[in-house]
Amino acid sequence: MYVFIAALSVNSVVYSSTIYPKLLIDFLSEKQVVTHAFCLFQWFTYYNLGASEVMLLAAMAYDRYVSICKPLKYAMIMRRGNVVGILALVWLFPSGQVIVPLFLNARRKLCKFVFQGIVCNSSIHDLYCTSSTALTTYGLVVFINVVVLPAVFILYTYGRIFVMARRSAEMRRKAVKTCLPHLIVLINFTVFIAYDFLLLRFKAKHTKTVRFAITLQVIMYHPLFNPLIYGLKMDKIHRHIRKLLCK
């Protein structure tokens, strides 16, 4: 479990390092300028690491399932080689999915040069001269592969955990303590990513404000609050913070 929490932290740090420095530079500059190449790079890391986070949550859900439902087989199933393989899949599979539209977008012609947004996400497609039905369809397939299917797997896994947890009060307590923070993170992140993927479908003027709020939520909420959510769940950290607050 702690290996996946550490991987989630690394994912958040890399994600933040591609977003926050440029965001701070733009905030301190009178004129905000970004090159097409850097915008594509930020777009790639934005979706690649976002998808990796969802898949990390799926890996953590499987880890919890084995720990609670098959405790005697945990050491055998979650041995070092399997964990390394899971982490490799978590980071390499989304990269292989997202890199295809990256190269295709690099060859498309720009007709607009004013970007409406604080980070290069799917809004970048508004800058191109023509829309691509093939890229839109491919994006939907990628969304299903790296967001929908892992989310369904997580819900199925936790469903199995809660069915098993009905057998004893101790198991129910352990399941709630372990799974509830995970589900909160999953629901929030999945909703934000789903909206971000679909925001190009909305053309109403009022969605600019909503788009800004959702984008800000995605880039601020998870890198900042994931360490708190998972850190407070660890008994030693939780006890230490309680001691500090009770002084």
Positive or negative: CA dihedral 73, 76, 82, 84: positive
Give the DSSP letter of residue 205. T
Percent of the chain with pLDDT over 70: 77
Cβ contact 47:219 at 8 Å: no
pLDDT score, position 138: 87
pTM of the model: 0.81
Q: pLDDT tens digits, residue range 117-141?
A: 778 887 788 788 887 788 888 888 8
pLDDT score, position 6: 80
What value does the mean pLDDT of the chain take? 79
DSSP β-bridge partners for residue 128: 110
pLDDT score, position 245: 60
pLDDT score, position 237: 55
117: left (phi over 0), alpha (psi -120 to 50) or beta: left
Positions of the chain with pLDDT lower than 70, given as ranges: 1, 171, 174-175, 177-178, 192, 194, 196-208, 210-211, 221-247
pLDDT score, position 216: 73
CATH superfamily of 2-246: Rhodopsin 7-helix transmembrane proteins (1.20.1070.10)
